[in-house]
Copies of this chain bind each other. A is one copy, B any other.
Amino acid sequence: MMIVRLPPPWALLHRPNTAVRVFSLLTSPPSTAVVYDEHGPPDAVCKVKELPPVRIKDDDVCVRLLAAPINPSDINRIQGVYPVRPPLPAVGGYEGVGEVHSIGSAVKGLSPGDWVIPSPPSSGTWQTYVVKDQNVWHKIEKSTPMEYAASITVNPLTALRMLEDFVDLKPGDAVVQNGATSIVGQCLVQLARVRGIRSINIIRDRAGSDEAKEKLINLGADQVFTESQLEVKNVKSLLADVPEPALGFNCVGGNAASLVLKFLKQGGTMVTYGGMSKKPITVSTSSFIFKDLSLRGFWLQKWMSSDKAKECRVMIDYLLSLARESKLTYEMELVAFNEFQSALDKALGKLGSQPKQVIKF
């Protein structure tokens, strides 16, 4: 990893919209950015580069990034395996929080010093300065913990939408999920609890699973099982006073997905949003015909491209308010930008299980 100073053509990357406009004297500071020229292993293709200043047009806002997380989907974009990817060369990152540094002459409602997040999120948050149209930016309360402001969309909003969009749940109802220790999983437990919805949680068998159980219980989980604890004839006999769930979430696949299906009640729905085991989902014919199960999928990026940008911000404000009240918490590690490579290694799983890595600029 090295810092290189780039010639003007890089401005194309930093600011792809080069439509001819009235010349403006206002420019951004140079930006230090995590850039990849080609798809491949993130630790090989990502380079920290300095990008030259770019013009700030009348409707533009220049934001100094404060923090941005490394999400699995960021890694998949760099690897080239994500279905929607920015054109190359690209700056990494998709969400984050920043402070308004300077604004174009036509910008309304934002002033230098304001905290903003790109909403819906957009590519290129792994850099020190970003210039984008004012419509991109959503002002948030500065009392929000920085790491939550940086990471509020990709995982917590996924959890919120999945809880709202598939089954009409009422207080006292239950949901079931695997991969419960994931950030989305932890958010689901807490967002369900806020609505009086109970959660049944499935986690992997591994060293430390007792500790993981305890953490989930502390977040508000009603029940937590390791997969091996569910090797029983009828998993529903374990439900005790928790009702059969009408909605389940799968981010693992394989046996862990089958366990979610087993818990679901007649007519229930399982929503898949990840495949951590890299194994497919296998379902019996009778689950569809006689148990009337529905299997669906959820992809936040698609959801946000569907006319939901405004609704999205209302939900983000709700999630941020929960974060400020500590009703929504999850483990993160703030890492200085100059330690990006080490944060990336942790995010890539090279050092075992680690908290969510959030770069602090």
Q: Mark A6-34, 1 if CB is under 8 A from B, else 0.
A: 00000000000000000000000000000
Q: Which of B253, B283, B292 is A285 in contact with, Cβ under 8 Å?
A: B253
Q: Which of B275, B280, B288 is A295 in contact with, Cβ under 8 Å?
A: B288
Q: Measured between C-beta atoms, what is the minimum distance from A38 to chain B in Å? A: 22
Residues of A252-278 whose CB lies within 8 A of B: 253, 271-275
> Roughly how many angstroms separate A186 CA and B299 CA in the complex, as a whole number?
36
The chain B residue with its CB closest to the CB of A297 is: B288
Q: Which of B271, B272, B285 is A281 in contact with, Cβ under 8 Å?
A: B285
| Contact residues in B for A298 (Cβ distance below 8 Å) | 289
Q: Is A282 an interface residue (CB 8 A)?
A: yes
Contact A299 B294 (CB under 8 A): no
| Contact residues in B for A284 (Cβ distance below 8 Å) | 275, 280-281
26 intermolecular pairs with C-beta atoms under 8 Å apart: A253-B285, A271-B288, A272-B288, A273-B289, A274-B289, A275-B284, A275-B285, A280-B282, A280-B283, A280-B284, A280-B285, A281-B283, A281-B288, A283-B295, A287-B297, A288-B295, A288-B297, A289-B297, A289-B298, A289-B299, A290-B297, A290-B299, A291-B297, A292-B302, A294-B294, A295-B296
The chain B residue with its CB closest to the CB of A266 is: B302
For A274, A285, A287, A291, which residue has the most chain B Cβ atoms within 10 angstroms? Answer: A285
Contact A292 B283 (CB under 8 A): no
> Roughly how many angstroms separate A322 CA and B268 CA in the complex, as a whole number?
36
> Roughly how many angstroms separate A253 CA and B289 CA in the complex, as a whole number?
12
Q: Is A180 an interface residue (CB 8 A)?
A: no
> Roughly how many angstroms separate A17 CA and B302 CA in the complex, as a whole number?
56
| Contact residues in B for A290 (Cβ distance below 8 Å) | 83, 297, 299
Q: Is A237 an interface residue (CB 8 A)?
A: no
Q: Measured between C-beta atoms, what is the minimum distance from A106 to chain B in Å? A: 38
| Contact residues in B for A292 (Cβ distance below 8 Å) | 297, 299, 302
Contact B293 A297 (CB under 8 A): yes
Contact A272 B285 (CB under 8 A): yes
Q: Mark A313-336, 1 if CB is under 8 A from B, else 0.
A: 000000000000000000000000
Q: Is A228 an interface residue (CB 8 A)?
A: no
| Contact residues in B for A295 (Cβ distance below 8 Å) | 283, 288, 294-296
Q: Is A353 an interface residue (CB 8 A)?
A: no
Q: Measured between C-beta atoms, what is the minimum distance from A255 to chain B in Å? A: 13
Contact B302 A296 (CB under 8 A): no
Q: Is A286 an interface residue (CB 8 A)?
A: yes
| Contact residues in B for A83 (Cβ distance below 8 Å) | 286, 290
| Contact residues in B for A287 (Cβ distance below 8 Å) | 297
> Roughly how many angstroms separate A112 CA and B290 CA in the complex, as a whole number?
38
> Roughly how many angstroms separate A288 CA and B250 CA in the complex, as a whole number?
11
| Contact residues in B for A283 (Cβ distance below 8 Å) | 280-283, 295
For A272, A275, A291, A297, which residue has the most chain B Cβ atoms within 10 angstroms? Answer: A297
> Roughly how many angstroms separate A293 CA and B302 CA in the complex, as a whole number?
13
4 A-B pairs with the lowest CB-CB distances in the bound complex, closest first: A288-B297, A275-B285, A272-B288, A295-B295
